[in-house]
Amino acid sequence: MRKIFSFLLMTLFIMSCKNENKLEVDVSNINVDLKLARFDVDFYNSTPETLSKTKEIYPMFFPHDIDSVWLNKIQNKDEQELFAETQKIYPNLSSLEKELEQLFQYIKYYDENFQEPVVISMLTNVDYENRVLFDSGLLLISLDCYLGATHEFYVDFPEYIRQNNREEHIIVDVANAIINKQMNPNNERSFINKMIYEGKKMVLLDAYLPNVSDREKIGYTQEKFDWATSSEEDIWKYFIEREILYDTNSKLNKRFLDTAPFSKFYLGEDNLSPGRIGVWIGWQIVRSYMENNDVSLPELLRTEEDIIFKKSKYKPKR
């Protein structure tokens, strides 16, 4: 009897480890050819004599052959100040290079057709809506958007924007930019399916960034993250009781899926909640599906959202 009991315990332990380690993979043997260029340094250090050389290296950034425009930009006091501040924090990108190499290894593990893009650092006058751009083999990173949440350049930004203007969040934004290109467009109409679609993207983040915290991946402050984790059951009850899971009203996007200072339950303590709480719940549903079904990551991405919901056996944490 004791042997049988021990065997059952061992079986449960192995099954538990299998579920927990489903996205833990060895990528150490995957080769990555990382090419990183610092346009910000090359451009703002250019002179009238060397500008032509910079243009040869980065032709994609010079659509018009009017040198006076670019020289005026280089000599602009505000832009030089922005460059100087960026250089204080990013005199080199050795740490980011290591993070990018590991990210590309994980992506190539799951997608053998993935080709490493050429990575180019630049300044965009703090265009926080386009911090990272990924397309056509290029990955553009605006370093001036990551000077630190309390940097004086961001003093007029709302907290929910500046909270992610940190070096630690660069790799999350890079991974998200790539994921948004990898995922098929979202044609879902019901709120639950939209949540699960977003949840799929978050599980891709789990796979691509296994060493990054959940709080960093979702981009919440610690207080907002704690609220989300402690309120999961109440949030789910709210969605159920108000019968919005299968609602197709697009206004639900702004209330619960889009980037915002808080989610809009229209209750007295909405300001305590983080934005995108529907993304958070969708993430937990897809995680539950992965735990309760023997599926690979590629299989997950091919599975329709309503099937994921039905087979997820999702139960919010109390």
> In this predicted model, what pLDDT tens digit does every residue of 68-90 receive, in sequence order?
999 999 999 999 999 999 999 99
- What is the reported pLDDT for 228? 98
- The b/e string for 293-312 (b: 16+ C-beta within 10 A; e otherwise) is bebebeebbebebeebbeeb
Angle of helix 94-110 versus helix 191-208 axis, rounded to 10: 120
- The β-bridge partners of 132 are 141
- What is the reported pLDDT for 15? 44
Per-residue pLDDT in tens (0 to 9) along the chain, 318 residues: 444 434 444 444 444 444 445 678 999 999 999 999 999 999 999 999 999 999 999 999 998 778 899 999 999 999 999 999 999 999 999 999 999 999 999 999 999 999 999 999 999 999 999 999 999 899 999 999 999 999 999 999 999 999 999 999 999 999 999 999 999 988 989 999 999 999 999 999 999 999 999 999 999 999 999 999 999 999 999 999 999 999 999 999 999 999 999 999 999 999 999 999 999 999 999 999 999 999 999 999 999 999 999 999 999 988
- What is the reported pLDDT for 9? 41
Euclidean distance between CA atoms 99 and 77, whole angstroms: 33
Domain ranges of the chain: 35-182, 191-312
Euclidean distance between CA atoms 219 and 215, whole angstroms: 6
107 with 208: CB under 8 angstroms?
yes
CA-closest candidate to residue 262, choices 216, 212, 227, 213? 227
pTM of the model as a whole: 0.92
The first and second tokens of residue 57, run together, are 């290296």
Euclidean distance between CA atoms 107 and 213, whole angstroms: 18
Reduced to 3 states (helix: H, G, I; strand: E, B; else coil), residue 36 is strand
